[in-house]
Amino acid sequence: MRILLEINRDALLQNVKRINTFTGKKLIAVVKANAYGVGATLIASLLEPLEEVAAFAVACVEEGVELREAGVKKPILVLGGVLPEELEELVRWNLTPVVSHPSHLKALEGSFVKFHVKYDTGMGRLGFLEEIIQDRRVEGVMTHLSHPADRSFTLKQIETFRKIVSHYRGVKWVHLESSAGLIYRVDYATHVRVGLALYGEKPLSSYPIELSPALSLKARIISVKVLPAGHRVSYGDSCVLKRDTRVGVVAIGYADGLLKSLSGKARFYYRGVPVPLLGNITMDMTMVDLSSVEAEVGDWVEIVGPHQSFTQLAKEAGTIPYELMSLLSRRVHRVFA
């Protein structure tokens, strides 16, 4: 085994409870895109027994089917709506579509499938603008906050949605708050729709909930050798060694989600000591400067863990933790710790 993503069960469960306590609402755990790369069936099976988790949300029907096949019994929301040819699967696996376009309603015609209706209150992506759907199959209404860090814009979205919700009497599910959005503690909402914060990654630099980091990503050293000053490292000529250097090769590359743009910028950690990256990240391997540590072939280095979060690493790559995490490859072994 060469790449390990360790998921700390207790930290995850603690984060769920803290989010539930802070918001006073049950969670719709968002596990789309293989639970942001962490492993959807692992995460859903862990969270399924919790009373604080009311449902799961995925992006598409296939992701919902994967969860059902793994034994998930709670409601599963399909955020991306429904295409006509997906109705059969939707019914067979008891998935709940989010209807955000007239074509979704059309696809559900003649069925008894219950659904949530989505509104576009500012995101400019999916959702009706203001049309009220008079249909006994509506069991929820939702919208999505597009810029939770912008208070005045978000308060407008919350107010627009409040007016829409007032037309839906007796609907059991009203939800709009994501990990960042839940700081608004929207009083009329019944659930929060949370993904990133589950893993202890804070979605805003100042966040009112204390979260426990739940993920660590490690990879193994597969070669160590001293190269002389003047020797190049990796593709191209971006790295020429200034002094004799103990160069380690770590078995993780951009094909595993370690973005190439981190080349020459990031560092890994060996037993708590930072080891800088050398040269370009390659598809399957990344070189590090091990001159200051006693590392040997077979040892593990930390890429994400106590010393560096996905959020910090993403910042150095000029991106967001969502992208970095969801790119984690099939070669990554996902295990509970």
**Contact positions toward ligand PLP, by CB under 6 A?**
30, 32, 79, 144, 178-180, 193-197, 203
Strand ranges (E), 162-209:
173-177, 191-194
Q: How far is the CB of 80 from ligand PLP (least distance, A)?
A: 9
Nearer to ligand PLP, 291 or 326 (CB): 326
Token couple for 122 = 């500012």
Beta pairing partners, 3: 219
Phi, psi angles (nearest 5°) of residue 41: -70, -35
**So which residues are the catalytic ones?**
32, 235
220 is in an annotated binding site: no
Which is nearer to ligand PLP, 53 or 285 (by Cβ)? 53
Residue 310 phi/psi, 5-degree rounding, is: -60, -35
With beta carbons less than 8 A apart as the criterion, state whether 268 and 275 touch: yes
Which residue number, 176 or 250, has a Cβ lying nearer to ligand PLP? Answer: 176
Least gap, CB of 71 to ligand PLP (angstroms): 23
- For 260, phi then psi, to 5°, come to -60, -25
* Six-digit token string for 278: 């050398």
Q: Is 287 annotated as a binding residue?
A: no
Q: Which is nearer to ligand PLP, 64 or 203 (CB)?
A: 203
Min dist CB 319 to ligand PLP, Å, is: 15
What is the DSSP-derived secondary structure letter of residue 71?
T
Cβ distance to ligand PLP smaller for residue 146 or 329 = 146
Q: Report in angstroms how near the CB of residue 239 gets to ligand PLP at its nearest.
A: 35
Helix (H) or strand (E) holding 56: strand 53-58
Structure tokens given for 318: 């000029």
The distance of closest approach from Cβ of residue 133 to ligand PLP in the complex, given in angstroms and rounded to an integer, is 18
Biggest CA–CA distance in the chain, Å, is 74
| Of 180, 175, 127, the residue nearest 150 (C-alpha) | 180
What DSSP element (H or E) covers 247?
A: strand 245-250
Sequence ranges of the binding site for substrate: 125, 283
